[in-house]
Each structure stands twice: as C-alpha cells, then as structure tokens.
Copies of this chain bind each other. A is one copy, B any other.
Amino acid sequence: MVAYTQLKDFLTDIFESIGCSKADAVTTANVLLAAELRNINSHGLIRVKDYYNLWKQGRLNPTPNIEIVHETPSTAVVDGDNGLGMLVGLKAMQIAMDKAEKVGTGWVSVRNSNHFGIAGYYTMQALKRDMIGMAMTNANPLVAPTFSTDKLLGTNPISVAIPAGNEAPFVADFATTPIARGKLEVMHKKGLKAPDGFVQDKYGESSNDPNILTEGGAILPLGGDYVHGSHKGYCLGAIVDIFSAVLSGANFGPYVPPSVAYLPVLPDLPGIGTGHFFGAMRIDGFQPADEFKKYMDLWIRTFKEATPAKGQNRVFVPGEPEREWEAIRMKEGIPVLDRVKEELSLIAKELNIKMSF
C-alpha cells in the first residue's frame, strides 16, 4: 500500500518533468489517482507508462493550447491541441458548466484529445455547482457491432452524476460493453475461460477464449448477442462515438488513435485525435434546487432500501461502491502492482525523479 499523497507527489513530478505546468501536472495526477481510489485501476497508474511513451514519441503535447473553435450560448466544440485527455477534458467540462450557468445547460464536443481516464471525474465536477454532469468518450476500436466481425467501436463509456441533498450523489460510470479489455487479460493470465456473451471469434461466432482479440476476435456490445439485446449496446456505443467524434471532427470508431505507444497511428485519418462529449445541466433549470434535492434523496433511499435478492446483502445506488473504496484507500493507501511499480521506477530513472515507494 502506498499513501495517496506520496503517489500524488510522485505523479506530479513525472508530469512536470515531461513539460506540463505544475497546475496541469497536479490535475493529471488527480484524475489518475481518482481512478485508483475508486478501485478502477484499469484507468489509474497502469496508464502512466502509456502516456509517458506517447510523449517520448512526440505523440502527446505537454503544453496544449486548448481552445473553443465553434460555439453557441449552450454548445461548443473544443480543440484539445493533442494535450493529455485529463487537461482537455477538465477544461471542456468547465466550459460546459460555465455555459450552463448562463443558459441552463452546456454541451461540449471535443476533438484532438487523448485518453482521458475515468469519465466520472468530469461529471463529479458538476455536483459542486448543483448541476447534473455528463461525460462520454470514444476509445480504441475493440468492439464489433451486432452481426459484424469488424472492430468499429471502443468500450465507449458514459458517466452521469446527479446531485442529491442529504444522501450521497448518484454517480454512474460504465462502459457500453459487458467487459473491458483489461479484465480479459486477467482471465487469460489466470487460465480462465471468458463467460458466454463477452467475446466473439474472427468469424463472429461466440467464443470463451479471453485471448481471442489477438486472433481477430472482438469484444461484444453490452447485451452480448442479438437475442440478449446486443443491438442496444451497439446503439449506445454508436451514440457515444457520434457525439464525441462526428459532432467535433475527431476520429470516429475504427480511426480512433491508439492510447498506447506500441501501436502506430493509422495514415490518412478522417478526423483529428480522440473525441469526448461533456454536458452540464443546472438542476434549478428544472426545479428549485432544494425541491429537486429532496426528491432525489427520496429516489436514492427507495433504491438503497430495496429488498436484496437471495444471497445478496444490499442493493447499490450507482456510485456507492466506488465511494466506499475511496474512503478505504484514502485511509489505508493504494495497492500498487509489482509490474506497475517496475514501470514507474523505470520512468523515474529516465526522468531522474526520486521514487520513495
């Protein structure tokens, strides 16, 4: 276990060393560690090596000039100038909230960005301002649409955060697939089979091989197969892709640039960088804020107090498990895998940074 502050200082040092301003380095560390605290470690420390290697290859701009390129009172397209997704995402979310402040809601589509970590980090910014936050992003193509063998979509996550009164807020943050690539890798390493409905082989037939992606296979959309509604998961992933990329002019679906340095960028891309989409809605654009919060508290209590199924202890409201992890890890520290520690130690050596864990 490593203390949160220790990791935060270390990550801040890394991002300052690659050229970020102090403030930007802190922001990037904050977003990555929010993932670790919330037990979404697929989006935390494990990504530092990827960002670092992309930077080394000149594929990431540490001092981006993030700017609005098109706007109306409630909308904007932001160009991220190929910056770290965290910096671009936070700035875009800020713009969405500032627009909401003025006209009730704000909606920002982003191009020329990169991997932005957990979507929930951005939506939770809205809570402090009594707003509902929305965030989504497209991602590297791993997912085949229903009835196809081509990998045309990413795991394209959606997050929605909704403020409450006395209850803790509602924070949903989920991929539009049954599973992320990281979990398939874990299954493969443990010699486990993937359950039905996770992946297909290169012919589009159901597979239980967690390593099938390396042999032309694909992840399935949420729902799994057509009978179980995979066309609905496909719709969701498609909507995320279009809002993130077609609205902004970023690369869509199969053209999303790799978020890892060992894969090359495709030539002749139709758009610019990776795309995201952010939204903010003032709750008092609909109801007096106090009334909304009281009613939202009732909603949350109704679901929290629902009867658990046989063998279960409780029913969760979206965001509860992550919030509980956060409290534990702030107190007890964050577990760092040996493999990740080695990666970080190598980066520290190259950048001549002290690593104290």
Listed in ascending order, the chain A residues whose CB lies under 8 Å from chain B are: 70-77, 103-105, 107, 109, 144-150, 152, 160, 162, 170, 172, 174-179, 195, 197-198, 200, 203-205, 222-224, 227-229, 231-236, 238-239, 241-242, 246-249, 252-254, 270-271, 281-283, 285-287, 291-292, 295-296, 298-299, 302-303, 306-312, 314-316, 318
Contact = CB atoms under 8 A, between A and B. Distances in A.
Contact of A310 (B74, B205, B308): B205
B242 A299 contact: yes
B307 A73 contact: no
Contacts of A71: 104, 285
A92 to B, nearest CB: 13
28 contacts: A70-B285, A71-B285, A72-B104, A75-B282, A77-B286, A104-B107, A107-B281, A109-B286, A147-B316, A148-B312, A149-B306, A149-B308, A160-B235, A172-B235, A174-B235, A175-B232, A195-B227, A197-B224, A200-B309, A204-B308, A204-B309, A204-B311, A238-B303, A238-B318, A247-B287, A247-B292, A249-B295, A253-B303
**Assembly of this chain: how many copies?**
2
B286 A298 contact: no
B310 A298 contact: no
A178 B228 contact: yes
A189 B220 CA distance: 31
B204 A292 contact: no
A239 to B, nearest CB: 5
A204 B10 CA distance: 46
Contacts of A242: 162, 170, 296, 299
Contacts of A229: 174-175, 177-179, 222
